[in-house]
Amino acid sequence: MLHITSLNNQQVKDWKKLSLKKERVKQQAYLVEGFHLVEEALEYKKDKVKQVIIREDLLEDENFLRLEIEEERLVIITINIADEMSQTETTQGIFAELEIEPLNFPSSINGPILLLDAVQDPGNVGTMVRTADAAGFQGVFFGKGTVDLYNPKTLRGAQGSHFHLETYEGDLKDFILQFREEGYPVFGTALNEDAVSYKEVFVDEPFALVVGNEGAGINEAIIHELDQNIFIPMHGQSESLNVAVAAGILMFHLTN
Amino acid sequence: MLHITSLNNQQVKDWKKLSLKKERVKQQAYLVEGFHLVEEALEYKKDKVKQVIIREDLLEDENFLRLEIEEERLVIITINIADEMSQTETTQGIFAELEIEPLNFPSSINGPILLLDAVQDPGNVGTMVRTADAAGFQGVFFGKGTVDLYNPKTLRGAQGSHFHLETYEGDLKDFILQFREEGYPVFGTALNEDAVSYKEVFVDEPFALVVGNEGAGINEAIIHELDQNIFIPMHGQSESLNVAVAAGILMFHLTN
C-alpha cells in the first residue's frame, strides 16, 4: 500500500482540489470524510470507492480495523496531510475517494421524489437528502442552480444518505413534464392563491415534491407545471420556515 | 450622532468582542446583523436597542430610510469597520446592539414550550427557535450545555424569531419538575422501549417537548422525568434525522 508523507505529493494536491466543483467534474471523483461516511461508502458503494485514505496513527484504531479494505486501495498519510485535506475543524483522519456516478433521469418511478429548484445552501440540501432517505423517498433530483451533491458541506449534511437513495440531475421542467405523463402528481411549495394547507393533502401513489430557492422560491416557469401548491400554516409573527424543516414536515406528512 | 472612522476605536473593539459569550455576559449586550434583524429588533424590542450601527454609504439607502431611529441611538461607521464587525461573508452593513434580557423560568404557562438539552450546533438551535415561533410555541428553554441564544450563528438561524417568543434558561430538570406539577405533559425524543410513534400522540393543552444533544441524545437524569417518549418512524437504511428537522416534524404534529 502507498504511504504518502509529503504535502507536495501530486495525489495530495489532487485530493485537496476536490473541494472545488470544477475539479470534481474534471477528476470525476469526490471525497467523503470521517469514519461514518467511509463505512457507509464501503457498505453501499464498494465498487465506486477508488481509495481509502487513513492517517498513519490510526492503523491500529478499532474503528479502522473493522473496515474491510484491500491493501491496493489503501493509502496512508501523515497528520499534516490529513489536516490539510480536512474540511472540518477537527478531522477524524480518514477519507474515501469515490467515483462520481452520472445519473440523469430515473429509469422508472416507484416512489416519491424530491425535486430541488435552485436550492443554494449546501447544509440545507444535505439535510434534505438525509430527510428524504428517512421518509422513504426513491430519490432526489438536483435541478439547475442547486448546489452540488458532492460539495463537502452537502455530503456532511446528508450523513451518507446519498448512498441509500437515487440522485438525479438535469432540467427540472423537462423531468416534471415526463413525470406527469406517467399520471403522478407534482406538488410545489409556492404560496399562491391556489395553494392549500398540507393537512388537506393525502396521496397514496408516487409523487414529486418541488422545493425552491431559499429567497426567491420556485422558478415561475416551473410553478406553471405543478398540479398543486401546498403550504404549512404558521402562527404568530413568523414569516417562514427554514427550507429543510419545511421540506421535512411535508415529506413525512405526504408519505404517511 | 456618532461617526466612527477608526478601527482602533474602543467602541468598535467592544462590539467585535460580542462574538464571544463571555464578553456578551460581561457587557450584557449582543449584536444582530442585517436589515431584517435590525428591523425586527426595532419593531419588537425597541426599548432594548442600545444603538443602531450603519455603514456610511447606506445613509440614503431606502431600507435604512424606512427605519425609525432617534439620532442619539445612531452610529455611523466606515466600510472597513463594518467588514471587521461582520460575521457573514458579505455584510449588509447594518447592525443593532441590544441589551440581553435575563429570563429564567416562565412566569405562567399558556402554550407549548420547547426544551433544549445540551444542543450544541448554533445553526440547529437557531432553526428550532424559528420553527417554534412558526408552530405557535410560547417559548424555548435553553438547558445547560445548550449553545447560547446570542451566538451570532444562532441568531442568524432564528431569523428574528427570538423577538417573537419567550426564551428561558436554567436547570432543565428543575423546570420539568415544576412544569409537571401544573399537570401538563412533558414529551421527550429518547428512543427506548416505552417510546411510541408520534402519530399516536395527540395533545390539546400546553405541553413541553425535550430534544437532546445531536450525538448523545437526552441526558439520563432528564429521561426519568418525562411522561412519554415519542419517535419518528424511519424508512430504509437511514438511522436518524437532523435534530432541527425532527423537532420541526414533532412541533407541527403536536400543535395541530
Q: Is the pLDDT of residue B236 over 80?
A: no
What digits encode the pLDDT tens for the residues A191-247?
888 899 999 999 999 999 999 998 899 999 999 999 999 999 998 777 789 999 999
Which position has the higher pLDDT, B90 or B76? B76
The pLDDT value recorded for residue A237 is 75
Q: A89-111: buried (b, 16+ CB within 10 Å) or exposed (e) per residue?
A: eebbbbbbbbeeeebeebeebeb
What digits encode the pLDDT tens for the residues B54-66?
999 999 999 999 9
Q: Is the pLDDT of residue A131 over 80?
A: yes
What's the fold here for domain A2-99? 60s Ribosomal Protein L30; Chain: A; (3.30.1330)
d(C-alpha A42, C-alpha A99), whole Å = 13
Please check whether residue B179 is in contact with residue B109, taking contact to mean a CB–CB distance below 8 angstroms: yes
What digits encode the pLDDT tens for the residues B89-117?
888 999 999 999 878 899 899 999 999 99
What the block records as the C-alpha cell of B192 is 427506548
Residues whose CB falls within 8 Å of the CB of residue A255, separated by 6 or more in sequence, listed in order: A112, A135, A136, A137, B235
Chain B residues touching residue A159 (CB < 8 angstroms): 240
Q: Do B242 and A238 touch (CB under 8 A)?
A: no
Out of B164, B249, B256, whose CB is closest to A199?
Answer: B256
Nearest Cα to Cα of residue B229 among B255, B252, B182, B197: B197
**For B236, nearest residue in chain A (alpha carbons):** A136
- Given 3-state DSSP classes, what are the helix, strand and coil percentages for chain A, each rounded to the nearest 5? 40, 20, 40
Nearest-5° Cα angle at B133, B131 to B138 = 125
Å from A250 to nearest chain B CA? 9
Chain B residues touching residue A165 (CB < 8 angstroms): 236
Mean pLDDT of A112-138: 97
Neighbours of A32 (CB within 10 A): 25
Mean pLDDT of B168-183: 94
Q: Do A237 and B131 touch (CB under 8 A)?
A: no
The pLDDT value recorded for residue A193 is 84
The pLDDT value recorded for residue A35 is 95
Please check whether residue A219 is in contact with residue A118, taking contact to mean a CB–CB distance below 8 angstroms: yes
Nearest-5° Cα angle at B11, B67 to B161 = 45
- Cα B11 vs. chain centroid, distance in angstroms? 25
What's the fold here for domain B113-254? Alpha/beta knot (3.40.1280)
- pTM equals 0.93
Residues whose CB falls within 8 Å of the CB of residue B68, separated by 6 or more in sequence, listed in order: B42
Q: Do B236 and A164 touch (CB under 8 A)?
A: yes
The pLDDT value recorded for residue B89 is 82
User: Which pLDDT band holds residue A184 (cuts at 50, 70, 90)?
Assistant: very high
Q: Do A242 and B161 touch (CB under 8 A)?
A: no
Nearest Cα to Cα of residue B148 among B19, B250, B38, B12: B19
Out of B44, B135, B236, whose CB is closest to A136?
Answer: B236
Å from B246 to nearest chain A CA? 8
Chain B residues touching residue A133 (CB < 8 angstroms): 235-238
Chain A residues touching residue B244 (CB < 8 angstroms): 127, 242, 244-245
**For A164, nearest residue in chain B (alpha carbons):** B237
**For B126, nearest residue in chain A (alpha carbons):** A242
The pLDDT value recorded for residue B168 is 96
Å from B182 to nearest chain A CA? 25
Is there a common fold for A2-99 and A113-254? no
Strands (E), B139-254: 139-143, 166-170, 186-188, 196-197, 208-211, 228-231
ipTM rounded to 2 decimals: 0.92
What distances in angstroms separate CA B119 from CA A236, B113, B219, B252, one per listed residue?
25, 16, 11, 20
State the best of A165, A191, A235 to mutate against chain B, taking most chain B CBs within 10 Å: A235
What digits encode the pLDDT tens for the residues B202-232?
999 999 999 999 889 999 999 999 999 999 9
Annotated domain spans of chain A: 2-99, 113-254
Out of A238, A244, A255, whose CB is closest to B245?
Answer: A244
Handedness of CA A244, A245, A246, A250 (dihedral sign): positive
Å from B165 to nearest chain A CA? 9
